[in-house]
Amino acid sequence: MEKFINRYNKVVRTIELTKRQERILEIVKENGPITGEHIADELNLTRATLRPDLAILTMSGFLDARPRVGYFYTGKSSAQLLTENLQKIYVKDYQSIPVVVNENISVYDAICTMFLEDVGTLFVVDQNTILVGVLSRKDLLRASIGKQELSTIPVNIIMTRMPNITMCEREDLLIDIAKKLIEKQIDALPVVRKSEKGYEVIGRITKTNITKAFVALGDE
C-alpha cells in the first residue's frame, strides 16, 4: 500500500497496490528501462497476464512507457501523483447552478427560498443581475432572532456586501477554493464573470462540490 505523511502528521492512504504490482515496481526500479516481456520473465508469467497491472501502474503515474524502449520508473511517490492530479481540477469542472435572489426581497422570502431550494447560501443581485451581496444560514438565523417582522425587512440590510465577498472564477483551481472555504469558514463561493457593470454570478462552488471532486478522484 502506498502512503504519505501530510502536514498534520497523519498517514493518508492514496493508492493501494497488489503485491504483484509492488514487485513490478521493484523490478522496473532496478532494471528500467525494461520491456514488458522481460518483466514477465522475471515473474515467470505471461505478458498477457501482466498487461492489466502494467496498465494500472502506467495510468496511475508510477511507470512510464516508451515504444521500443520499455517501462521505466517515474520516481514519483503517490503523494506527488495526488498533488499533480489536484492541480488539474478546476472550478468549471464541478461548479453547480447558483441560487440567486433580488436585493429587495424580504428576509422571510429569502428563508423560504433557501428552504425550498435546499441550499445553505443565497447570492444577492441588483436590478442589473450584478452581485451585490451574499446571504448565509447564519445571516438569516441572526435576523430571525428577536421580534422583528421578517416580511418587512429587505435582505440588503443583513447580507454581506461587496467588497467583503469572497469570489472565484471558472479557471481557478478547486484546491485553492477549498483552502478559501476553510480559511473564511464559509460554505460556498459564487463563481463570477467580470463585466462592465460588475460581477455576474454564473455558478457556485460549495463544500459538497469539492467533496464530490475528491471522491471522484479517489474512485479514479
Helix 137-144 crosses helix 107-117 at what angle (to 10 degrees)? 140
pLDDT of residue 146: 75
C-alpha grid cell for residue 15?
493508492
Per residue in 14-24, pLDDT tens? 467 888 988 99
pLDDT of residue 81: 63
CA angle 36, 38, 44 (to 5 degrees): 100
Please say if the pLDDT value at position 9 is more than 50. no
Q: What number is the average pLDDT over the span 169-188? A: 93
Please say if the pLDDT value at position 13 is more than 50. no
CB 25 within 8 A of CB 14: no
C-alpha grid cell for residue 43?
515473474
- Cell 481540477, residue? 89
Q: What number is the average pLDDT over the span 136-143? A: 91
What is the reported pTM?
0.65
pLDDT of residue 32: 76
Per residue in 54-112, pLDDT tens? 888 888 778 888 887 788 787 666 666 667 777 889 999 999 999 999 999 999 999 99
Percent of the chain with pLDDT strictly greater than 90? 52
Element (H, E) at 123: strand 121-125
What is the overall mean pLDDT for the chain? 86
Q: What number is the average pLDDT over the span 140-153? A: 88
C-alpha grid cell for residue 220?
479514479
